[in-house]
Structure 1
Amino acid sequence: MPRPLPDLTHQALRRIRPLAFETNASFIERLAGAHHLTTSELLGGLRIHPPKVHPVQGGDYGPHARSELYLNAGARARISQYTSIPDAHLTHALPCWKDHRDRGSAAETRPGGAMRPSSLPAVIGCPHCTVARTGQAQPVPRYLPHHHLVCTRHRTWALGPHTLNGVPVPHTHALLHKTPEIVRAHHAHLRLTRRWGPDADDAVAQAAHLTERWRRRAPKSERIWPDRAHLIGSENASMWEALAREAITYPETITLAGLLVRRPSTRYHQTRPGQSHPLHTTIARLLNRRWLQNPAHYPEDLARYIQYAPRHPTNDTAYRHHTKPTSREGHTVELTQLGYQPPRPPTNNQ
């Protein structure tokens, strides 16, 4: 027999604050758990109609990518009233708080929502910081911007969603204790973002596309990236080179982004196939990779990657964005080819 719906007409007994960039579903789940309720019981007690569920299709969603809970205006108002948190604060903290497509006036809309696959990739925030801020070890999925994937205090990198034939890969973070160059690159990334704002994001996105291409096609003489993968995860360096591919090339990505955002005069000009370009030599020298002087390591449509001129530096230190980290966008690493074996399901001994 199901439990009767609780009476939640009063204010919440415990003050649960959302973490920056947290998913709606995670915040509601933590709010419900703090009052010893399930998410369904919490919504029912607030007289919020059960959300329509749109199941995740396929096996491309790993342990971090969850179905998001999108709430309409009526449901958001009741949760704001229950938690005593202003709607403006919830909107600021939760990137998808107002992503529900409301129809009709708020007065005519019955409080409810929908559960459907998130339009943004979520990662698990730093577990140590989560414990410090919430007092619990419960993982908190968050839509962290690219320049917030690194926790410098605990030397962790939040990984994106990875699956192996539909089975989640049981790794949520890469450890950076032996790779100080990645932490230094993170500080440089923050400086670029503070100064150039959206232009820095454009430059990092374009640089990430290039460095990922180079990582996949690097000659055997390239040892920096494989060695870096070994320092991050020594038990299977080849697996970690793919799993933490953004972290592996991060120092070079940020260095290259700094060149692109500061030097609009290096805009790429078309050359004949196989013909070297001064920009190739500049990049090879900057990244200390002589093999990058070879035009074969650059896409023929390189102009598509370097086709903008930065507008101007920005003084907006509060600049935030919630776009997908580019090199994680649209493809899941196939770890089978790297010899990774997923954990076997537990067997029931009878």
Structure 2
Amino acid sequence: MTRTDVTARDTAAAVPAQRSVVTAGTWLQIPSAAPGVLHVRPLTGEATASYVQRLASAYQLTPPQLLDGVGVTLHGHGALPAAELHLNHTAARHLAALARIPLPHLRRALPHLALLGNAHDTQAAATWKRMEAGQQPVRACTLCIRHRSHGTTDTAWVHRPPHRLMCPRHHQAASDPRLTTTVHTQGVPELAAAHHTHQHLLRHPRAATAWTTARAITTRWYDHQQHFTHRWHPRLNQLCATNPHLTTTGSASPALLTRDLVIYPETVALARALATLPNRPHRDDALSLIACRLGLARLTPNANDPLRVFLTHTRH
């Protein structure tokens, strides 16, 4: 039987015939560098383990079976989101051949692909690696992945950059790896507005530094219940009302699971203000400008406040 290219759109019609051929027994007879029958596109920033899982599911295989079938030796055990699957360059080439996606394109989509060994490795190998909490992937928008997979799954995990905290089209977000499903944000329209502002902020040369600083400051304010509790408490309550599952997640409180979402509008506003501050600003002038950007009549941080410390350091 000769292989034919079948796109994801044709999968629904083609899968029954294909899956009768691609069984665990016959899979091992497929050359490791042969192109696959199905075309499963990766998401931008998708975890390698997530993509391998989706690709394996398309063939009704487990990830170990899929990797073994393309000649990749799997080491260790793990599961998303606490662990990520790292492939060496040879294994990545095998995966790209199966996926029928050029390796450079696949590496751009999967940021953790081909992190092991070097390009001259002869053995194709994959290894499970545990990840620190701050590096773990989060759930992708369920509607986006369902559309991308033509209804075959709604689960994928992505390493999301800060400016993609939420999906503005479907009003979903996942700000913490411990969230087993996404958070619906329709009831908090200021999140979509903040997302729009954040995209414009990216054009500023100081955007990355300003964002890192602003997020550290607003996180501290949130944890110590300073300055914006009158906004953050109602916003948290609204998210919980729209997403009852937040109150039944046993791993952490809703206040922690949604912290990045709750503080997002103020973080974006503060980052924008910090990015556009003049060099060596006078502290009182800077505080007035920042208060205006944050929608406050005045902002009077104490001596230990991280914003005050930052402005003092900037002046010197």
Q: TM-score, normalised by structure 2?
A: 0.78
Q: How far did residue 292 of structure 1 move? A: 3.2
- Using the alignment, how far apart are the partners of 1:226 and 1:69 within structure 2? 38
Q: How far did residue 82 of structure 1 move? A: 2.2
- Using the alignment, how far apart are the partners of 2:161 and 2:307 within structure 1? 30
Aligned to 1:250: 264
> Cα gap change, 1:218/1:41 in structure 2, threshold over 3 Å: closer, same or farther?
closer
Look up the equivalent residue of 1:121 and give its one-letter code: Q
> Cα gap change, 1:93/1:160 in structure 2, threshold over 3 Å: closer, same or farther?
same
- Give deviations 1:242-290, integer Å, cap 9, x for gaps: 3211111111111111111111335576xxxxxxx44334333432345
1:53 and 2:110 matched: no
Look up the equivalent residue of 2:144 and give its one-letter code: C
- Using the alignment, how far apart are the partners of 1:303 and 1:218 within structure 2? 19
Aligned to 1:224: 231
1:76 and 2:92 matched: yes
Look up the equivalent residue of 2:103 and give its one-letter code: D
Contact map agreement 2:36 2:97 (CA 8 A) in 1: no
- Give deviations 1:200-250, integer Å, cap 9, x for gaps: 122111111111111222359842110111111125789433321111111
> Cα gap change, 1:254/1:31 in structure 2, threshold over 3 Å: closer, same or farther?
same
Structure 1's unaligned 5+ residue stretches are 57-63, 163-168, 270-276, 309-350
Partner SS state of residue 114, structure 1: strand
- Using the alignment, how far apart are the partners of 2:264 and 2:313 within structure 1? 18
1:97 and 2:119 matched: no
Identity %: 27
> Cα gap change, 1:78/1:221 in structure 2, threshold over 3 Å: closer, same or farther?
closer
The runs of at least 4 consecutive aligned structure 1 residues that moved more than 6 Å come to none
Look up the equivalent residue of 1:261 and give its one-letter code: A
Contact map agreement 2:30 2:69 (CA 8 A) in 1: yes
1:303 and 2:314 matched: no
Look up the equivalent residue of 1:203 and give its one-letter code: A
* CA RMSD after TM alignment: 3.1
Q: How far did residue 154 of structure 1 move? A: 1.1
> Cα gap change, 1:307/1:266 in structure 2, threshold over 3 Å: closer, same or farther?
closer
Partner SS state of residue 128, structure 2: strand
Q: TM-score, normalised by structure 1?
A: 0.71
Aligned to 2:161: 145
Look up the equivalent residue of 2:76 and give its one-letter code: V
Q: How far did residue 145 of structure 1 move? A: 0.8
1:85 and 2:108 matched: no
Aligned to 1:37: 61
- Using the alignment, how far apart are the partners of 1:226 and 1:266 within structure 2? 34
Q: Which has the larger share of helix?
A: 2
Look up the equivalent residue of 1:149 and give its one-letter code: L
- Using the alignment, how far apart are the partners of 2:217 and 2:174 within structure 1? 21
Query: Higher RCO, 1 or 2 (CA under 8 Å, sep at least 6)?
Result: 1
Aligned to 2:209: 202
- Using the alignment, how far apart are the partners of 2:217 and 2:149 within structure 1? 38
Look up the equivalent residue of 1:240 and give its one-letter code: P
> Cα gap change, 1:113/1:239 in structure 2, threshold over 3 Å: closer, same or farther?
closer
Look up the equivalent residue of 2:124 and give its one-letter code: P
Aligned to 1:190: 199
- Using the alignment, how far apart are the partners of 1:256 and 1:27 within structure 2? 35
> Cα gap change, 1:111/1:183 in structure 2, threshold over 3 Å: closer, same or farther?
same
Contact map agreement 1:232 1:240 (CA 8 A) in 2: no
- Using the alignment, how far apart are the partners of 2:236 and 2:125 within structure 1? 46
Contact map agreement 2:77 2:128 (CA 8 A) in 1: yes
